[in-house]
Structures are given as structure tokens and as C-alpha cells.
Amino acid sequence: MTAGLMQTPPLQIIDILKFASTAHARREIVSRLVEEPTFRYTYADSARRAAQAANALKRLGIGHGDRVSSLAWNTHRHFELFYAVPALGAVLHTANPRLFDEQIVYTINHAESTVLLFDKNFLPVVERLAPQLTTVKTFIMLSDEQRTVPGAVNALSYETLLAKESADIAWPTLDENLGAFLCYTSGTTGDPKGVLYSHRAVVLHAMASGLASAFGFDAFDVLLPYANLYHATGWGLPFAGPINGCKIVFPCDKTDGASIQELIVNEGVTFSGGVPTIWTMYLSHIEKTGETPGKLKRVVIGGSAVPRAMAETFKKKYGVRVLQIWGMTETCPLGVIATPTPELAEAGEDAMDEAIWTRQGRMQFGIELKIVDEDGKDLPWDGENSGALLVRGPWTIRRYFRKDADAASADGWFDTGDIATIDAAGFMRITDRKKDVIKSGGEWISSIDLENIAVACPGVKIAAVVGVPHPKWEERPLLVIEPHEGQQLTEADVQAFLEPRIVKWWKPDKVIFASVPLTATGKIDKKVLRSRYATALTG
């Protein structure tokens, strides 16, 4: 055997911040905060404060293998913890505040965290849950000294703790396969499941996601992450940004259209990202006010299917390119990304847009894809055959946290629970989640495709399609519409809009006008809709 003769330093997350604090020392990080004025500093300052935060946590007894939970928004303080905690060899569990109380408790107890750091407006939640948090010993409010309220949990002030510490630290050398982040899936079925990201997975994912063939970052970019840091590490933007020297703007908890627009314009944002619901609010705001999105050039959208109408409006009206991504907590989360290819460009811009807007994305180096039929046999990549989507690669899950059996097969394939087609060029299109697919008379109806068409109907804000029991066809589609404020729509209007756009047998059996419930990660909560309307076609 001839061994390679190159160096093998472990891939460590802290090296990203160390690099940025030198190579992009003066590049800015801007952060909105709860009840505090907007804060600004540089990568160099941020690295110093991450060291102070690590020294403070060490003093509280945090070290190798320990778990620390955060219940926090997208702020510079949460960003500091993204580096300080893993750099100690500890694991940061980013608790999701949008989960139900019992699920938040479950995840913090399951993580066995001993410290909980939280933003000020979570104090009532923390006080309410504290008696059930069996392992947490120290509560820290991510706030300055004067605004910290100890409350029933005797919370310490983050800023007071940091002020006492030196910015000198000898970061330990860690095994790159050590756990760094513990992210739970939102658990729409059963208990949330923990996915434990390693340093190696996070660093490789961050290097890949900034590439020109992915998010395409450079040092002139200004990022505004609306993907929550508590959900799959904010899609890795807190790592891909510093690697590429991007300015980062953290929006804290303000996600209304006016607040988004203010940051985009005032901070010169070139790139933003978040789930479709955020961009629905944003577009409806700027459409109402007649404003334009400043220097914004690219928006990455994922988590649920991007309505075609959204991508089209962004591009045609505002000159902003939408990059749809598909991924999941189990893939760190980037899986595929919809970027153009020279082959598509040959067919002209309209055809290229069409191809890109109607697919989740194209395969990326680092994530292998395949689709299989019910017997596990590979299906062809013809853009027609659909089957269970399986993935594997260095940032794909092997096993859930504290489970005995692997979630992936012996050769690494992980079943995503999604149903998809893949075409010859590696473009993947999700047609459904396995449990959401509508089985009508032995044929499948794609709830996502129907939603995509219905949401383009004038006056519609959110369209949700679920399969509900039907006496003859087993299941039939039911369409729930949440109209834009002040819009009057009838079932006949919606059906007339759908009719020329869908095959006959996809016609929803009923259209209901109601507000659409969303999950903790901003997706349509189909479980709730299915049970609410279970007897709509039979009862």
C-alpha cells in the first residue's frame, strides 16, 4: 500500500472563525437584538468574544462531551455560541422554540444539557419549563447586565459572564468526527429525533455550500439568514459566510415584511434565505408599498416546495434569482440546489427558468442520490418514474442520537421519506412526502404539484392539499385555501382556475377556505389538516 503523504489536520469548526478573523478581520457582523439596539462588530471581535464565551462556559464546568442547549434567535450572540461550544469539544443543542412545550422539554432532557442559554423574550417559556428540565443546572440570559432579569431560574447575564473573561484561549485539538451540533427534527410523527452533526460534516458542508455552483458566495456578499439558527444550523450559513468573508446581518426575531425590507435596504443585503412563508410575507409587503429589494440578488428558499409564482415574481419583477434547495435536518441540511447549466441555457432563458422553477434542484458533489421502487430496485433517471428518494455522503446521517440501530443502510443509503423523480441531468423533483401522497383509486396524486398550481390563483396566500378518506376512491384531494387579507374567493373561482391546468382526476373534491396551520419549521401541518377534515368527504 502506498499511503498518501499529505497532512491530516482534523476539520474543526473553530478554524472557520479563526480564518475569518484574520483573512476578513474587518468584515462586519450586524445583529438585531431583543430589547437592545442593533449591534455591530467585526469577525476579529467575534473571534475574541467566542473565546471569552468558551472561557465562561469552561468556568461553569463545560468541557469535552458535554451538552449545552440554546433557545435563541438569529443574533451575533447565538453565532458566538456556534463556535465557542463545539470548540470546547462540547455539543450545542439548538432547541426549537416553535415546538410544543413537551417537545422542547423532551429534546433538552434527551440531550442531557447542563446549561441553557436563552433570549430574553423566552424567559416565560423557560420559567414554565424549568421544573421539568432534569439536567439543566445553569440558565444564562443572552442579554446585557442591565437588561437581564434573573426570573424564577436565577438566570445569569451572558454579557456579565463574558466581561470577566480573557480572550486568550488555547483551543483543544479535536477529533473531526466528534459531535458538534445536536439538531432535532420537528417530530410531526412521534418524538423529535436528534441528528448529531460532526465537525467534519459541518466543515465539508460549509465548504461545498459556498461554491459558485451552489450559493456562489464571495467577499462582497452581504448575507441575511432568515433560516433559523435553531433549525439545522441555519442551513450552515453561519459557517459558509465566514469562509467566504461575507458580511452577515442577523435579524433576531423580526420576520415581518417591513423589518425584512429595512435590513435588506439599509445593510446592502445581496443574499438571503428562508422558508417560503417568509418570502410570501416579504413579497406581499413590497408589492403593497411599491418598494424594491435594494441590492438583493439571490434568495435561497427551501424547507417546502417553492411556488413557481414566487420564483417568477422575484425574477421578472425584481431581478432577484431564486435558488431552490431541498434538504433535511438529516443532511446538515443541504441536499440539492437548483442552479442553471449550459445545457439548459441552450434552450433559451425562458425554458431554463421553467426547468429550474419546477424542480427542487440538481445533485451536488457530496450528496449522492437515488430513487427506488417499493422493492428497493433502482429506478431510471428519466424525470418520469418516481420513487423513494435515498441519499448518502459525508454530511448525511448514519444514526439518530441515542438510538441503537443505524438509520442508514450498511452501504450508507438513507431513506429520506420523500418521493421524487430524477432526470438525466441530475435534477430532482419532489412529488410528495411519503406520508402526504394521495392515493386515489390506486393512482398517486402529488399534493405538492396541486398546491403549486393552486397558490398561483389570484387572491390565494397559502394552498394546502391533503388526501382524505373517500368511500369509492380510497382517498381524494381536499384543497384548503387561505386567501390574502381582504380577498373574496369562491370555490367556483378556484376550480375554474385549476381546470385548464390539471388533469381531470386531480380535481380537488372540495375547496375549503380557512387559515392553514404551520409546523414548528414553517411547513403546512398536514397532520392537523388530515385529522380536522377526516370526514369532509364521507360524513
Residues that bind ligand ADP (CB under 6 A): 185-186, 232, 302-305, 324, 326-329, 333, 360, 416-418, 430, 433, 519, 521, 523
- Annotated catalytic, 439? yes
> In whole angstroms, how far apart are CA 339 and each of 246, 362, 413?
20, 7, 25
Least separation in angstroms between CB 74 and ligand ADP: 16
For residue 291, give the C-alpha cell. 418598494
DSSP string, 270-321: -EEEE-HHHHHHHHHHHHHH----TT--EEEE-SSPPPHHHHHHHHHHH--E
Residue 67 is which amino acid?
A: R
d(CA 338, CA 326): 9
Q: Which is nearer to ligand ADP, 55 or 339 (CB)?
A: 339
Which residue in the list 439, 443, 490, 535 is annotated as catalytic?
Answer: 439
For residue 157, give the nearest of 138, 173, 143 by alpha carbon.
143
Q: Which is nearer to ligand ADP, 113 or 521 (CB)?
A: 521
Write the CB contacts of 43 (distance below 8 Å, at least 6 apart in sequence). 17, 20, 21, 24, 25, 26, 27, 29, 242
Q: What is the length of the chain?
A: 539
What's the min distance (Å) between Cβ of 16 and ligand ADP?
Answer: 22
Q: Given the complex with ligand ADP, which of 87 and 524 has the nearer CB atom? A: 524
Tell me, yes or no, if 330 is annotated catalytic: yes
Q: How far is Cα 522 from Cα 258, in angstroms, rounded to an integer?
A: 19
All three cell numbers of 184, joined, read 432535532
The CA distance from 52 to 167, in Å, is: 5
Measured from the CB atom, the residue of 232 and 466 that comes closer to ligand ADP is 232
Nearest partner of 236 among 282, 172, 180, judged by Cα: 180
CB of 36 to ligand ADP, least distance (A): 30
Nearer to ligand ADP, 69 or 416 (CB): 416
- Residue 90 or 201: the one with the smaller Cβ distance to ligand ADP is 201
Whichever of 158 and 197 has its CB closer to ligand ADP, that residue is 197
Minimum distance between the CB of residue 122 and ligand ADP, rounded to whole angstroms? 20
To the nearest 5 percent, what fractions of the chain are helix, strand and coil? Answer: 35, 25, 45
Report which residue type is found at 219: A
- Residue written as cell 442508514? 408
| Gap between the Cα atoms of 483 and 462, Å rounded | 7
Q: Which of 444, 474, 507, 527 is catalytic?
A: 444
User: What's the angle, vertex CA 238, arms to CA 523 and CA 242, rounded to 5?
Assistant: 150
> Is 395 a catalytic site residue?
no
- 159, 165, 176, 330: which is the annotated catalytic residue? 330
Q: How near is the Cβ of 174 to ligand ADP at its closest, in Å?
A: 26
> Cα separation of 220 and 368, whole Å?
31
**C-beta of 528: minimal distance to ligand ADP in Å?**
14
Q: Which of 322, 365, 362, 328 is nearest to 342 (CA)?
A: 362
Cell 441528528, residue? 195
Nearer to ligand ADP, 158 or 235 (CB): 235
CB 120 within 8 A of CB 142: yes
Contact between 446 and 428 under an 8 Å Cβ cutoff? The reply is no
- The residue from 94, 138, 148, 185 that is catalytic is 185
Query: What is the closest distance, in whole angstroms, from the C-beta atom of residue 280 to ligand ADP in the complex?
Result: 15
End-to-end CA distance of the chain: 71
- Residue 523 annotated in active site: no
For the CB of residue 306, give the shortest distance to ligand ADP in the complex, in Å. Answer: 6
Q: Nearest approach, Cβ of 477 to ligand ADP (angstroms)?
A: 17
Angle at 131 between CA 126 and CA 132, to 5 degrees: 90
295 or 527, CB closer to ligand ADP?
527
CA 194 to centroid of chain Cα atoms: 15
C-beta of 261 vs 360, nearer to ligand ADP:
360
Cα 127 to Cα 154: distance, rounded to the nearest angstrom: 10
Task: Classify strands 427-433 and 438-440 as parallel, antiparallel or unpaired.
Answer: unpaired
Minimum CB separation of residue 186 from ligand ADP in Å reads: 3
CA-to-CA separations, 345 to 117, 309, 336, 361, in angstroms, rounded:
48, 21, 19, 16
- Lookup result for grid cell 469552561: 58
Using an 8 Å Cβ cutoff, are 196 and 181 in contact?
yes
Which residues participate in catalysis according to the annotation?
A: 185, 330, 439, 444
